Amino acid sequence: MKKPLTIEEKKRRDEEEALERLEEKYINDIDINNLKVYSSLEKNLVYLEALFNKASDFNTRNFKLGDEKEVKATLVYVQGIVNKGFINDTILRELMIISRDQDIKSLERYSNLIDLIEDKLLTMGTIKRRDRFSTIIDDMLCGHVVLFIDGYDEVISIPIPTREVRNVAEPETESVVRGPREGFVESIDINLSLVRGRIKTTDLKFESFRLGRVSKTDITIAYIEGIAPQDLIDEVMNRVKRIDVDMVNESSIIEQLVEDDPFSPFPQISNTERPDGVASSLNEGRVCIFVDGTPFVLVMPSVFVHFLQATEDYYQRFFFSSFVRILRFTAFLVALLGPSVYIAITTFHQEMIPTKLLLSIVASRAGVPFPALVEALIMEIAFEFLREAGIRLPKTVGQAVSIVGALVVGEAAVQAGLVSQAMVIVVALTGIASFMIPAYNFALGVRLIRFGVMFLAASWGMFGITFAILALLIHLCSLRTFGIPYLSPITPVDWEGLKDSFVKVPEWFKNSRPPYLVKDDNQRIRSNIKPSPAKGDDEDE
């Protein structure tokens, strides 16, 4: 007759059987989300070493706690993403040396040894307790050091990540003449602090979580409570939390997975590298998404006029800002319709051209063997080649290639009789107009649509252009960005919103936030604060 097992022996047997099943699950690649930490330090290390098999950056540091009553412990971490100097100088020193002075064998005042370590030994600001391998592994891969203690089925996770981050500098894609010179970097913590420094209120909320089954990328959704509509916050949260992908390397991945119409050539979410731009958007009632590893922050919702506005508009007097905005809207039309109008007029509607100008165009096209469409396509495609080459090459070479290439190719094409001088001028003006659009992703959509309009103009002349404009207007009117009409405040008409659209009115005249976005707390500035001389000045005169 077998002797009945004691409670300790049964527990040990159950743990051994669970470990065997655990290794089998790992081999068969089965989900481990519900696997708990064992009380045996040896078994925990066996599993971690099996999990991090062939990972040379996986490290362990075995040591003992206390003096008379020594307890085995192990620090586990991934080398390269943690501050190794901090481990050696602070954590190990406190656990190995100071623990002797604290006499850890006296545990009467503590429920367990982990409480003693957390209360009296470790001086770090953030310490987390974990009891599942899934969360432990996530912590380790995000720069945590995990402390395993023999005899305890709970561990201590200590965040001490180390990461090389470039200094905060002026953003290259959104440079300004007057305004702050700070730009976001690749660290999400630094980016959040830059925004927090501009919005000093407890109503600014940051909700963080991780996305990506493989990348485990930190994501933070920012908004100002009480200003941002709650239905907008809920909609953004729901769309982001539905994302289930392997990797999130850049904020554009999230943008493509949460936008309303992924087949539209027009972007519905803007991005920025400027903390002041994000702060202004949050104050207007928008929601922003920060992604660790990229300096580009998503701003939503973003309507049509938002992509033709620049941050510097708000740092200049309203006369100049309004003039520049009108120029941008004009540049948008030129970039979209410039070559198409030239093709339509020279092919179908010569009577619309003044006689002297018509004779000049005919003389320049006398030796060109191609129709206007082919001529325009040659120059547009060559211009796109040069533009992409200038972007992809190193900066020292890229600018020279763009400038010299444009001059050489344009002059050579005219001399060879492949294109006319007028077409070179039209394509050059179109390219310059596209550069005036502040939002790069919006300009990309305009560049693509331009080719389609060119084919319609070559087929039906001005009727084809009219058809293209009507189709674009129908599409823009039907487009939504997080439930808000894309053409707001143009249609539906919102007079308060129009104060900051095609033109920019003075700051003292913008009394409210965009009404099409904020319904409740839309009071932006006190009424009747138009600047004027003090009464005492008139009396002195």
Question: Lowest-pLDDT range, 37-51, 87-101, 251-265, 428-442?
Answer: 87-101
- What confidence tier does 413 reach under pLDDT thresholds 50, 70, 90? confident
Query: What pLDDT is stored for residue 95 in this prediction?
Result: 80
Q: Which two tokens stand for residue 521?
A: 């707390």
pLDDT tens for residues 65-113? 766 667 888 999 998 888 888 888 888 887 877 666 555 555 455 567 7
Sorted by where each begins, the domain ranges of the chain are 22-159, 188-302, 329-485
Other beta carbons within 10 angstroms of residue 156's beta carbon come to 24
Q: Residues 383-406, buried b or exposed e (16+ Cβ, 10 A)? A: beebbeebeeeeeeeeeeebeebb
Other beta carbons within 10 angstroms of residue 164's beta carbon come to 6
SS3 187: coil
pLDDT tens for residues 420-436? 888 888 988 998 899 89
462 Cβ neighbours under 8 A, 6+ residues apart: 344, 345, 348, 349
The pLDDT of 463-492, averaged and rounded, is: 93
- Which carries the bigger pLDDT value, residue 28 or residue 295? 295
Backbone angles phi, psi at 527, to 5 degrees: -70, 160
**119 exposure class (CB count in 10 Å sphere: 0-12, 13-18, 19+):** exposed
- Which carries the bigger pLDDT value, residue 451 or residue 51? 451
- What confidence tier does 501 reach under pLDDT thresholds 50, 70, 90? confident
Instruction: Write out 171-184 in H/E/C secondary structure.
Output: CCCCCCCCCCCCCC
- Predicted model pTM: 0.84
Query: What pLDDT is stored for residue 536 in this prediction?
Result: 55
The pLDDT of 503-509, averaged and rounded, is: 84
Among residues 485, 448, 453, 438, the alpha carbon closest in space to that of 268 is found at: 485
Angle at 451 between CA 447 and CA 456, to 5 degrees: 140
Q: Does residue 235 carry a pLDDT above 60?
A: yes
What contacts 24+ positions apart, CB below 8 Å, involve 199-204? 199/224, 199/279, 199/282, 199/283, 203/227, 204/282
- What confidence tier does 18 reach under pLDDT thresholds 50, 70, 90? low
Among residues 26, 162, 141, the alpha carbon closest in space to that of 77 is found at: 141
SS3 57: coil
Angle at 58 between CA 52 and CA 61, to 5 degrees: 125
Query: What pLDDT is stored for residue 27 in this prediction?
Result: 44
Query: In angstroms, how far is CA 300 from the centroid of its own chain?
Result: 11
C-alpha to C-alpha distance for 354 and 28, rounded to whole angstroms: 79
Query: In angstroms, how far is CA 297 from the centroid of its own chain?
Result: 3
Percent of the chain with pLDDT over 90: 38
The pLDDT of 216-226, averaged and rounded, is: 92
71-78 and 128-130 beta bridge pairing: unpaired
36 Cβ neighbours under 8 A, 6+ residues apart: 131, 132, 133, 153
**183 exposure class (CB count in 10 Å sphere: 0-12, 13-18, 19+):** buried
